[in-house]
Amino acid sequence: MEIIKPGINIDFIGRRKIGYIISLVLIAASILTLAVNGGPNYGIDFAGGTIVQVRFDTSVDINDIRTGLDASGLSGVSIQAFDDEDRNEFLIRTPEVLATGDEFATEITAQLAGATGATAEIRRIEMVGPQVGETLREGALFAMFYALLFITIYISGRFEMKWMVSGVTAGVLIGGVVFFSRLQLSIPLLILIAIILTLVLFWQLRLRYAMGAIVALLHDVTITVGIFTLLGKEFSLPVVAALLTIIGYSLNDTIVVFDRIRENLRLYSTRILEKNINNSINETLSRTLLTSSTTLLVLLSLFFLGGDIIHDFAFTLIVGVIVGTYSSLFVASPMLLVLQGTMPPPEDEEGYEPGKTETGTATAA
């Protein structure tokens, strides 16, 4: 099955500056959103506290719900209605870990029924201690960082045959994380330092494919988290699982394009790098779009038909697949061209001389 005819020649590289502008705007908006909101909207998994899901048999007003909760001694809680108004279902959150038992549920139900005039039903009650939430939050950040690290280490070994350098780099980065963690730095700051250290090491070691991959992956995760925060959705463990899935999915697309670029660099060693990259993107375009479209069909089905439990998980993946497909075309591959202009090529790269044309004459950058 082909949705893109063979021989297509879209000038992705020629339009890369437009892609850079779009990416920078989205990243800046994501970072601004996170700064304004003080970080993601952590769910109970990470923030700790108590969450009560309650359903009424008729339509009720949130202010009446709050009145009933005040009568139960629960003040300062947040109340969120589900997207489907016909369900008359609400989530009640409190940052405190409450002693929840049969008496608690009975009292809450009675007070809510009295304040709203509707029959209330407690659907679920969840509690997470603050220490557990903090531990989960730190673990999630480390999971995403190490996923990025080991994936890019694999990329550098796979495409540049620098397995020894990659292994040493991984050891240095892990040692750096352990060292800075002993300084009692906050986990977000520690991860930021580790990512900066990773980029600097990759730059100095001329790991161009790894640099292109990690920039694209950071691009995808940042924009996805920014959109998630902008829409006020909860950042929970299923969302972290979705982000890790996005990292793997985006990398899969990037590897396919990188593999074709490396192959074309060897087959057409006298062709300029810009044309080799552009041809490689076009040659893999049908596969990229077909994979993304079929994946999106499944995710849209999960989003609309899968229920509330996996709603945010599916939404995160939908955003990530779209952003990841875009980054494979307009971020990861064009980054090789950007890095080629600032990094000397590895000495063992076969058959390629930077700035060389198809006739073998050097051109100006």
Q: What does the pLDDT look like over 127-183, one tens digit per residue?
A: 777 666 677 777 877 888 888 778 877 888 888 777 888 778 778 777 877 777 777
Distances (CA, A) of 226 to 47, 168, 222, 249: 18, 33, 6, 19
Q: What does the pLDDT look like over 74-111, one tens digit per residue?
A: 776 888 887 566 668 888 888 777 766 667 888 888 88
Q: Tell me which DSSP letter residue 3 carries.
A: S
Per-residue pLDDT, 341: 57
Task: Output the pTM of the full model.
Answer: 0.78
List of domains in the chain: 16-42+132-340 (1.20.1640.10), 49-128 (3.30.70.3220)
Using the predicted structure, report yes or no on whether residue 299 has a pLDDT greater than 60. yes
Among 167, 164, 187, CA closest to 177 = 187
